[in-house]
Amino acid sequence: MRSRFEPDRQLTARMLVTMFLLGLLYVVFVAALIVLLKSVVLVVVIAAGLLGAQYWYSDRIALYAMRGRLVTREEAPQLHGVIDRLCATADMPKPRVAVSRMDLPNAFATGRNADHAVVCVTTGLQRRLEPEELEGVLAHELSHVAHRDVAVITIASFLGVIAGLIVRFAFYSQLFGGRSRDQNTAVALALVMAVSALVYAISFLLIRALSRYRELAADRAGAMLTAKPSALASALTKVTGDVARIPTQDLRTAQAFNAFFFTPALGPGTTVANLFSTHPTLERRLEALAEISTELGETA
């Protein structure tokens, strides 16, 4: 898909490298499972089935988890109006529009390609932001669709999901069925758990490295499209500050989708090392937007 969003060759290169490394890791992972479980058909069928579900139904899964639903122009005229204007400016197809009835102030884009993309905004975000700030956030999300990194992050996260599921299955299988099983089976399950945990750790780090860069790329592309980096910076500051006041239970529900969000759903006390974060720090993002503001000669 061609659009007027500024192309980002560094983002494209990082996506290609990440997908290559994850693909290689995936092949090794499947081969190891086949050796350990001694069933080519079982492993291939399960792996292919889960990958297909992740690819084809990622938008529905994300909307369901975030309590979002598609809305018509009559139901959300302001939201549709902003997205219509941005898509016309960017010369790109309009994605479907959804609203999540959550107070958590956030937005995300998902979908396997531009024709099946969804941009979802929470009611908490709409309530807190001024029109120009909301426009900046939506431009950020649309750039994810235009640059195709939504599809890449969806597929990339699959390997971590399947590895995590296998670790849990092997753990509970060992925990509740250990006595009724012979020693060889127990050893095989332990090896499966170890391989899956290693694969999960590597994919975890690769996805987060890509995710942090893609957020900076989307900030830049969105700010350049609207020519209002200060509005996006204001939205970032507001949302990041308000997320810290959201109840912990709501944050836990959303944290599984942090890689897709405009800002991560992290509450107070969660100052994890930057290496493990899906997003750059607020300071880093504001600094980058200030540079764009200077570049554009934007005045307050």
Which residues are catalytic, by number?
141
CA dihedral 17→8→232→292, nearest 10 degrees, is 120
* Helix runs in the chain, H state only: 9-37, 40-65, 77-90, 123-128, 131-146, 149-177, 183-226, 229-243, 248-254, 282-296
Answer yes or no: is 116 a known binding residue.
no
Nearest to 49 by CA among 158, 149, 156, 150: 158
Answer yes or no: is 80 a known binding residue.
no
Answer yes or no: is 147 a known binding residue.
no
Report helix, strand or coil for 38: coil
User: What span, in angstroms and rounded, lies between the C-alpha atoms of 45 and 118?
Assistant: 29
Amino acid (1-letter code) at residue 56: W
Amino acid (1-letter code) at residue 254: A
User: What span, in angstroms and rounded, lies between the C-alpha atoms of 143 and 90?
Assistant: 9
User: What span, in angstroms and rounded, lies between the C-alpha atoms of 187 and 184?
Assistant: 5
User: What span, in angstroms and rounded, lies between the C-alpha atoms of 206 and 60?
Assistant: 25
Element at 110 (helix H, strand E): strand 107-110
Residue environment code for 184-193, b if the CB has 16+ CB neighbours within 10 A, otherwise e: eeeebbebbb
Give the residue numbers of the binding site for Zn(2+).
140, 144, 215
